[in-house]
Amino acid sequence: MTRPPNRNANHPAADPPGVPARRAALKLLDAVLRQGLPLEAALDRATQGIERSDDRALAHAIAAEALRRLPDLDALIDSATRSRLPDDAKARFALRIALVQALALGTPPHAAISTVLPLVDGGPRKLVHGVFGTLMRGGATLEEFPTLPEDVEARWQNAWGEEKVAAAERAIAVPPPLDLTLADPARTEELTAEMGGLSLLPGHIRLAGAHVPELPGFEEGAWWVQDIAASLPARLIGKGSGIVLDLCSAPGGKTMQLASAGWSVVSVDSSESRLARLRDNLARTHLAAEVIAADLLKWSPAEPADAVLLDAPCSATGIFRRHPDVLHRVNPRVIAEMARVQAQLLARAAKWVKPGGMLVYATCSLEKAEGEEQLMAFLASQPDFAIDPVAVAELPAGIVPHQRGWVRTLPGMLAEEGGCDGFFIARLRRGG
């Protein structure tokens, strides 16, 4: 199997200007497509040795846009080669990077190709130069809306229909908006006007984009960044004064929501690095929670809680707009494994809910195995739990609860306002 090239004796000690960012982008694509790593998890290693933050950001932008448009980029490459290049050929990787810059990121073609050619040697270098030149001279373009990978399109079409597949392709074509959740919903009108944003719910502001630390209220901790769909699970718990367990809690958006709503929050996550971010967020917002680093399959609370929020680990296919790598590294095996873990966590979490208490189960997934099917299996095995139906008034206009009472956000919802991530959320009540 041919790997994209690493720096070795064939490469100069110092790359020409612009090349390090492209080399890092190539490493990022390799990490996602061949190793199955999340894009964000691979970023530090791929950009090691790159000092300029703008070069690191460029590497990420190139790789992310290539992943958004990979089927269309590969179709162009295949149209200009006599025999199909292997998926892992370094020439294909280099062409993806050159083409996405020229056709989607506004890089002048001469700069796009000149910064990529140093990544390949010998015959592949001539091939890359020739294919790129052929496509540029032929007026190659990319479709306005990216094509989803065939397996993802088939899976989502079977689950949600052609309309939602088309909506997903429209959604991934544009940068998602920036959503803020406010610590004090009473300030919604004030801060929305000050920022020039749009509010879809009390305690929510949506912006087209901004440099977060410069926004009003950042230093005082008046809000935090959180997609509106991601804010719904904690919203559906509402205000309270008892004990709530926030399970799989990092980086902290739900914990801050619950703390600001009056709950005594026990926040549990297995990732020390993500919990560090959670603690930073709590400090900035002047909110309090008991933070615990633990494996939920081994940890148990000292006593049952009034409410439990399980935002379970999942395939994360619902956040494909922000993380296009999920479209290429998530497959039925990954989905089945995540569903198995979710079932284990749900069974444990159920024991930690007081009689009469509430359990909210959520995943940022567009897979029914991590949503509707998981819920049905749980209810069949836990007869003392029942769905506590979500009311229309609890949700932003444009998101409607399922007739059986749970919430499913899908591509196309809130489209005119900028869309939302894909989530499944069920609110359950334990019998007294």
Q: Scan for tokens 């002047």, then name that residue.
A: 286
Q: Rounded CA gap, 71 and 210, in Å?
A: 30
Give how far Cα 431 sits from Cα of 290, 310, 317, Å: 27, 19, 33
The answer to whether residue 364 is catalytic is yes
Question: Three-state SS for 161?
Answer: coil
Q: Which of 248, 314, 364, 420 is catalytic?
A: 364
What three-state secondary structure class fits 14? coil
Determine the Cα–Cα distance for residues 253 and 218; give it in Å rounded to an integer. Answer: 14
Residue partners of 123: CB distance under 8 A and separation at least 6: none
316 backbone φψ class: left, alpha, beta (φ>0; ψ -120 to 50): left
Across 88-110, b (16+ Cβ under 10 Å) vs e yields ebbbbbbbbbbbbbbbbeebebe
> How far, in Å, CA of 239 to CA of 220, rounded?
22
Classified as helix, coil or strand, 267 is: strand
What whole-number distance in Å separates Cα of residue 411 and Cα of residue 166? 9
Tokens of 302: 């000292």
Round to whole Å and give the CA distance between 308 and 350.
Answer: 8
CA 243 to CA 237: how far, in whole Å? Answer: 12
* Amino acid residing at 78: D
Alpha-carbon distance 388 to 430, whole Å? 9
Q: What value does the CA radius of gyration of the chain take, rounded to a whole number of Å?
A: 23
- Picking from 235, 231, 255, 237, the residue whose alpha carbon sits closest to that of residue 364 is 231
Task: Provide the 3-class DSSP secondary structure of residue 206.
Answer: strand
In the structure encoding, which two tokens stand for residue 31, read together?
């990490």
Instruction: Give the dihedral sign, CA 166/169/173/177.
Output: positive
User: Mapping DSSP to helix (H, G, I), strand (E, B) and coil, where does residue 244 land?
Assistant: strand
Residues identified as active-site: 364
